[in-house]
Chains A and B, each alone.
Chain A
Amino acid sequence: IAGITQAPTSQILAAGRRMTLRCTQDMRHNAMYWYRQDLGLGLRLIHYSNTAGTTGKGEVPDGYSVSRANTDDFPLTLASAVPSQTSVYFCASSEVAGVADTQYFGPGTRLTVL
């Protein structure tokens, strides 16, 4: 089934640990995005990639890093997790970036940092 997959579905993590959230899409979309969603707040963009090999910072990039080695994969790494990074993380993709293009979302990863 075409779409976006994310792993893990949920994770409980000790503060200070390193964690990589995985995202894979099979729609051959050029652009990919990582958001976090917290209660009472809108989706906030962490990092994005307009095409394989390029990445950019979003609204809340601190404490996170990404890479885009190929079209399909866009992992998000927390180098040293802190409790404020407890959130639901959504990966999304769109065919192109910067135009009237719909973003499609993965099922999300619920992360708890203790």
Chain B
Amino acid sequence: EIVLTQSPATLSLSPGERATLSCRVSQSVSSYVAWHQQKPGQAPRLLIYDVSNRATGIPARFSGSGSGTDFTLTISSLEPEDFAVYYCQQRNNWPYTFGQGTKLEIK
């Protein structure tokens, strides 16, 4: 099973700042990495698929990058609604797996 390790576990930033979230994968997953956002009491929402493609309706401040085993989600300028938990996910090999999440909290 492919393991995804996200860092940091918690990221404390202020609105307007830039957020950089990391996802390291235990083996190469080609470009099959996605990012999901989850707010308290809500279902997750797809943000990014295949490393860098924004899902429908996702603002341009969200971007993804990386290759091989290291991937990054960047939020260029944080809005109040961006404070949530973020999960990376691989779909290269079954079972598809998620990272443990990074909680982005208001500083």
Physical interaction between A and B: no
User: Which B residues lie at the A interface, using CB under 8 A?
Assistant: none
